Chains A and B, each alone.
Chain A
Amino acid sequence: MRYLLLTLLFMGVAIVAAAVLSRLGGRGWRVEWRASVMAAAVLVLLTAVFDSLMIASGLFSYTAEHISGITIGLAPIEDFAYPIAIIIALPVFWELLNRRAAVPVRRLLREAFVASRPVSWINTAFPFAAAYFLTTREIDWVLVVGALYYLIPYNLAMYGINDVFDYASDINNPRKGGIEGALLQPQFHRPMLQLAAWSNIPFLLVLAAVGGPASWGPLLVSTFAVIAYSAAGLRFKERPVLDSITSSTHFVSPAVVGLALTGAAWQPSTILLLAAFFLWGMAAHAFGAVQDIQPDRAAGIGSIATVFGARATVWIALVLWTLAGVLMLFTPWPGPLAAAIVIPYLVNCAPWARVTDDTAAGSNRAWRRFIWLNYGAGFIATMIMILWWNS
């Protein structure tokens, strides 16, 4: 009976998905239902033959008490739900994407790729993978699925949502459009948000199911931070201090999720390390906001930098980086070595200690170096982790 319930659940999801999709996209498109029925008939026939063959050759089996026992050939009747669910839902999706009024999917995917900031993918995947791998010390499917999630869909959600809701300010900012981001045309806004949602939900469901209740808190915080940073109504990025905290959460929370999935105990050294990482992330965000003071103010957008001014914000960043380094000194060996990681950041930022709001845009030069500093920092952090691994 258990298999029947599972079948009804997923069949229900497919039917609801088909119903919802068929109401999207306005008029002027429809599914060729006669073709669906023809395809379904052939698929059912093929399933009866090949599922029986596959079961006969011992490729897979079922726990006897969980299935209804009704079979067609050797195939349990529940198995036929797979092709039927597919043929109910996928043609609707296909016709929706190909309707005349749709945005070109190829352009949408290209926009999504650029919007997700490929140079920054590693910044969220690495904290997750490192936290998970250093705890379990083995590669398993949860590590692969989680790393994949924090590599692409998570960044697509974070930056995609950001680009949609930042449209008003981005349009006045010549810096957007290159390595650091892109202007997203309004017709792509809705499809981008849908793509972000549907690329994230399956991963979040799997991670939440695998991690159990212990992982729900970190996953919720992580997902909330991604949405709240830029979504209309919340706009944490416009709330001074909260903007830097939320931004840092984007990079630290994957590591916390990684630890939660492994069920690792919370040791003081772990908390120190995460705190140092968090301060580092806040500093990075604060310094990054300095260059945008003028366009942000012109667009009426607040940030830690527009409120405190350029010079004070640079000093806040310098202090936070220093504190991050100091915290690392209190972690067990070889953790203190990582204190040195903040030095290049301090050196990069220090020349702007006397910046004014009028010269703030010039700090973009330092920000560009920043992307490459992160790769260097990641490299050194990896070396220290290997040292720790072997010690």
Chain B
Amino acid sequence: MSYLYLACLLGGIVCMLLLDLRFRLFFWKSPASAALVTLAGVTFLLLWDAAGIATGIFLRGDATIASGIVLAPEMPLEEPVFLLFLVLCAMILYTGATRLLGKWTRKTDDETPPEPEIT
């Protein structure tokens, strides 16, 4: 039993938030909307997990890198943290890709010859 997996997940979340901070993509663009989107995503995935556990599909392993702390039957402490990471990762990728596409489109616009300057 260790906290390695949890530490990795938290590290991943911190990295996502650093990208967010640097490029003002998600929480640093619209914090309230980002919070609502994150909450909706994590809740949806938790319900999915819960349904999988209730129908006997998902089983918690006894990995040595996991803390062994369980929140509910077959639901380790790390699972909601992982889901949070997944949602953050997805939204940083989406907002980041949107930013890149915007830049590329603007670059093509820039190729049109500039207006002659009047001196």
CB-contacts of A80-138 with B (<8 A)? 82-83, 85-87, 89-91, 93-94, 97-98, 104-106, 108-109
CB-contacts of B25-60 with A (<8 A)? 29-37, 40-41, 43-45, 47-48, 50-52, 54-60
Q: A57–B66 Cα gap in the complex (Å)?
A: 10
Q: Does A35 contact B (CB under 8 A)?
A: yes
Residues of B within 8 A of A86 (CB): 41, 44-45, 86-87, 90
When C-beta atoms are compared, the residue in chain B nearest to A210 turns out to be B54
Q: A42–B41 Cα gap in the complex (Å)?
A: 18
Q: Does B97 contact A (CB under 8 A)?
A: yes
Residues of B within 8 A of A82 (CB): 45, 48, 86
Q: In the complex, are the beta carbons of A60 and B33 less than 8 A apart?
A: no
Q: Does B89 contact A (CB under 8 A)?
A: yes
Q: A104–B32 Cα gap in the complex (Å)?
A: 9
Q: In the complex, are the beta carbons of B87 and A105 less than 8 A apart?
A: no
Q: A43–B94 Cα gap in the complex (Å)?
A: 10
Q: Does A62 contact B (CB under 8 A)?
A: yes
Q: In the complex, are the beta carbons of A60 and B36 less than 8 A apart?
A: no
Residues of A within 8 A of B87 (CB): 86, 90
Which of A161-169, A201-209, A269-277, A381-389 lies at the binding interface?
A201-209
Q: In the complex, are the beta carbons of A61 and B90 less than 8 A apart?
A: no
Number of B residues, CB within 8 Å of A: 51
Q: A46-B89, A58-B61 are in contact. Are A90 and B94 (CB under 8 A)?
A: yes
Q: In the complex, are the beta carbons of A83 and B86 less than 8 A apart?
A: yes
Q: In the complex, are the beta carbons of B94 and A202 less than 8 A apart?
A: no
Q: In the complex, are the beta carbons of B98 and A90 less than 8 A apart?
A: no
Cβ of A208 to closest chain B Cβ, rounded Å: 12
Q: Does A330 contact B (CB under 8 A)?
A: no
Residues of B within 8 A of A59 (CB): 5, 60-61, 63, 65-66, 76, 78
Chain A, interface size category, equals: 35 or more
Chain B contact residues: over half helix, strand or loop, or mixed? helix
Residues of B within 8 A of A62 (CB): 57-59
Q: Does A2 contact B (CB under 8 A)?
A: yes
Residues of A within 8 A of B101 (CB): 32, 34-35
Q: In the complex, are the beta carbons of B36 and A109 less than 8 A apart?
A: yes
Residues of A within 8 A of B57 (CB): 2-3, 6, 62-63, 66-67
Q: In the complex, are the beta carbons of A141 and B33 less than 8 A apart?
A: no
Chain B proximity mask over A201-230: 1 for CB below 8 Å, otherwise 0: 010011001000000000000000000000
12 sample A-B contacts, Cβ–Cβ < 8 Å, listed by A number: A6-B48, A6-B57, A39-B96, A43-B89, A43-B93, A62-B58, A86-B44, A86-B45, A94-B33, A105-B30, A106-B31, A141-B71
User: Other CB < 8 Å A-B pairs besides A35-B101, A60-B76, 15 of them?
Assistant: A6-B52, A9-B51, A10-B48, A32-B98, A34-B97, A35-B95, A38-B97, A42-B93, A58-B63, A59-B5, A62-B57, A93-B36, A94-B94, A141-B75, A209-B54
- Chain B residues packing against A (C-beta within 8 Å): 5, 29-37, 40-41, 43-45, 47-48, 50-52, 54-66, 71-72, 75-76, 78, 86-87, 89-91, 93-98, 100-101
